[in-house]
Amino acid sequence: MDDRRRRFELQVLPHLDAAYRFARWLARSPEDADDVVQEAMLRAYRGFDALRGSDVKAWLLTIVKNCHLTALTQQQRRGTVPLPDEHDAQDEQALIATGPDPESATVSQDQERTLERLVSALPDPYREALILREIEDLDYREIAAVTNVPLGTVMSRLARARAALKKQWLQQVEGEPHAVP
């Protein structure tokens, strides 16, 4: 095995499972996720020489995210699925504090839903940030890099995603509102 391939297998391949999990949360079907991961690993291998520093996981997940977007655009061009629209409010902190949850419309109120289904139902930008934080354990800076948004947006997305989930899930588990009035 040549040296480059060996370094790739030692540095990047350990994050394959993270790439796969992330792709599963992003893509619309397991088959789409498989294709996204494979394409991402190939792109990562081709671009491996440009990788500097130790932030390999965030780097790989960024490529996964980009491959996912490319695949979505191609599907859209073929007229199969629409792109999800991005709707970040300008003053998000105020929105969390006073307004109704924007997720209320998209997250089903169905009491039988499991946490997994609740997370799946979050709008893409919120789900992404939350998964990268809670499951993949990325820090804010890394999440900002992967999702290509400013740090402040990462923080507000996390807050909104968590607030929405808390409302949907904790209340359901405990049978009563949790927050202190």
Partner 1 sequence: MLCPESLRVQAYFDDQMDAVTAADIEGHMGNCARCRALLQDLQQLRTAMRQELPYAQTPPALRARIMRALDQESVTETRQAQRQGRTNWRTGSFWAGAGSGLGVAALAATLAVLFFAPLLRTPVVDELVGAHVNSLLSTHLIDVVSTDRHTVKPWFAGHTDVSPVVADFDPQGYKLVGGRVDYLQHQRAAVVVYQHGQHVINVFSWAATERSAPNNVTRNGYHLAFWKVGDLEYCAVSDTGWDELLGLVRLLQGVSAREASE
Site residues, partner 1 (CB under 8 A) = 1-2, 5-6, 8-10, 13-14, 16-17, 19-21, 24, 34, 37-38, 41-42, 45-46, 93, 96-98, 114-116, 119, 130, 133-135, 139-140, 155-156, 158-159, 162-163, 165-166, 169-170, 173, 178-181
What is the closest distance, in whole angstroms, from the C-beta atom of residue 86 to partner 1 in the complex? 20
What is the closest distance, in whole angstroms, from the C-beta atom of residue 82 to partner 1 in the complex? 26
Please check whether residue 72 is in contact with residue 83, taking contact to mean a CB–CB distance below 8 angstroms: yes
Please check whether residue 28 is in contact with residue 41, taking contact to mean a CB–CB distance below 8 angstroms: no
Please check whether residue 28 is in contact with residue 3, taking contact to mean a CB–CB distance below 8 angstroms: no
Please check whether residue 144 is in contact with residue 150, taking contact to mean a CB–CB distance below 8 angstroms: yes
Tokens standing for residue 9: 């297998």
What is the closest distance, in whole angstroms, from the C-beta atom of residue 79 to partner 1 in the complex? 28
CA 83 to chain centre: 15
Q: Which is nearer to partner 1, 9 or 106 (CB)?
A: 9
* Residue 141, CA distances (Å) to 36, 47, 62, 86 in order: 24, 22, 12, 20
Q: Which is nearer to partner 1, 81 or 135 (CB)?
A: 135
What is the closest distance, in whole angstroms, from the C-beta atom of residue 155 to partner 1 in the complex? 5
Tokens standing for residue 150: 């400013």
- Whose tokens are 């030692």? That residue is 10
Phi-psi sector, 110: left (phi>0), alpha (psi -120 to 50), beta: beta
Q: Which is nearer to partner 1, 76 or 141 (CB)?
A: 141
Q: Which is nearer to partner 1, 88 or 134 (CB)?
A: 134
What is the closest distance, in whole angstroms, from the C-beta atom of residue 80 to partner 1 in the complex? 22
Q: Which is nearer to partner 1, 55 or 140 (CB)?
A: 140
